[in-house]
């Protein structure tokens, strides 16, 4: 069973008024994400030992294996983008109560959480991701990973939010201004309802 590109949970112009234009979403979802899925399916078709495995199982099976880095990169990017589309929202930016309480408990304040997240997202040199995860001890922490890696591959815990900081994610909307893209995400696009559901399910 081949992996498939999931449909966006909103229309491609749904985020335009909030800082992510239709062209960004069309290129990012229809071209970039599709390319990862196509490449992953090609690798799996050529490797019987990967067939029948779930996406999570493939990531865990090939991580750290230099010879299988192309499989890891494309599987990781498929996983990351599935999450990413779900943590963007046309009604983003509002933090529901249960999550807000937990953020205040673990970071001290919402502002500190946002500062930590901005620091991680802007200090990730080159391509990668910034994450809000529930770590194995039950505490919310901000992390970052390079290229196609993610909290699953690095045993960081349960992922609540992930922000793509590859240039293709923000260059049409924010050009070189990654910090503005991150701030806009946290204030206007982040689907904290989704993050709270992940927290509740953990």
Binding residues: 28, 81, 164, 168
**Is residue 164 within the footprint of Mn ion (CB under 5 A)?**
yes
Give the interface segment with Mn ion, choosing from 19-27, 117-125, 146-154, 160-168 (CB under 5 A).
160-168
Name residue 144's beta-bridge partners. 130
Between 88 and 142, whose beta carbon lies closer to Mn ion?
A: 88
Stretch that binds Mn ion, among 60-68, 146-154, 166-174, 185-193 (CB under 5 A): 166-174
Residue 81 CB, nearest approach to Mn ion (Å) = 6
- Asked if residues 128 and 164 have their Cβ atoms less than 8 Å apart, the reply is no
**Which ranges in 47-177 belong to alpha helices (H)?**
55-62, 69-86, 97-107, 110-123, 171-174
Is 107 or 143 the residue whose CB approaches Mn ion more closely? 143
| Segment interacting with Mn ion (CB under 5 A) among 18-26, 47-55, 100-108, 163-171 | 163-171
Size of the site for Mn ion (CB under 5 A): 2
What is the token pair recorded at 33?
A: 């994400």
3-state per-residue secondary structure call for the chain = CCCCCCCCCCCCCCCHHHCCCHHHHHHHHHHHHHHHHHHHHHHHHHCHHHCCCCHHHHHHHHCCCHHHHHHHHHHHHHHHHHHHHHCECCCCCCCCHHHHHHHHHHHCCHHHHHHHHHHHHHHCCCCEEEEEEECCCCCEEEEEEECCCCCCCCCCCEEEEEEECCHHHCHHHHCCCHHHHHHHHHHHHECHHHHHHHHHHC
* Stretch of 12-20, 125-133, 159-167, 186-194 contacting Mn ion, by CB under 5 A: 159-167
Question: What is the smallest separation between the CB atom of 94 and Mn ion, expressed in angstroms?
Answer: 24
Q: Using the minimum distance from each CB to Mn ion, give the nearer residue, 116 or 164.
A: 164
State the nearest-atom distance from the C-beta of 156 to Mn ion, in Å.
19
Annotated binding site for Mn(2+): 28, 81, 164, 168
108-127 binders of Mn ion (CB under 5 A)? none
- For Mn ion, which is the closer residue by CB, 166 or 174? 166
Of 113 and 128, which CB lies nearer to Mn ion in the complex structure? Answer: 128
Binding site for Mn ion (CB under 5 A): 164, 166
């Amino acid at each position: 069973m081949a992996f498939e590109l999931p449909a966006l949970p909103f229309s491609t112009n749904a985020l335009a008024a909030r800082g992510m234009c239709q062209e960004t979403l069309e290129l990012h979802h229809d071209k970039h994400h599709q390319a990862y899925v196509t490449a992953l399916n090609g690798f799996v078709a050529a490797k019987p030992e990967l067939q029948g495995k779930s996406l999570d199982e493939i990531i865990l099976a090939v991580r750290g294996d230099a010879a299988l880095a192309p499989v890891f990169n494309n599987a990781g990017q498929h996983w990351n983008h599935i999450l990413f589309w779900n943590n963007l929202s046309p009604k983003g930016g509002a933090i529901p109560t249960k999550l807000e309480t937990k953020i205040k408990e673990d970071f001290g304040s919402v502002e500190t959480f946002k500062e930590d997240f901005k620091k991680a997202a802007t200090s990730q040199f080159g391509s990668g991701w910034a994450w809000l995860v529930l770590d194995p001890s039950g505490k919310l922490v901000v992390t970052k990973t390079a290229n196609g890696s993610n909290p699953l591959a690095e045993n960081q815990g349960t992922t609540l939010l992930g922000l793509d900081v590859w240039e293709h994610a923000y260059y049409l909307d924010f050009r070189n201004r990654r910090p503005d893209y991150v701030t806009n995400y946290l204030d206007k696009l982040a689907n904290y309802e989704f993050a709270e559901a992940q927290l509740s399910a953990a």
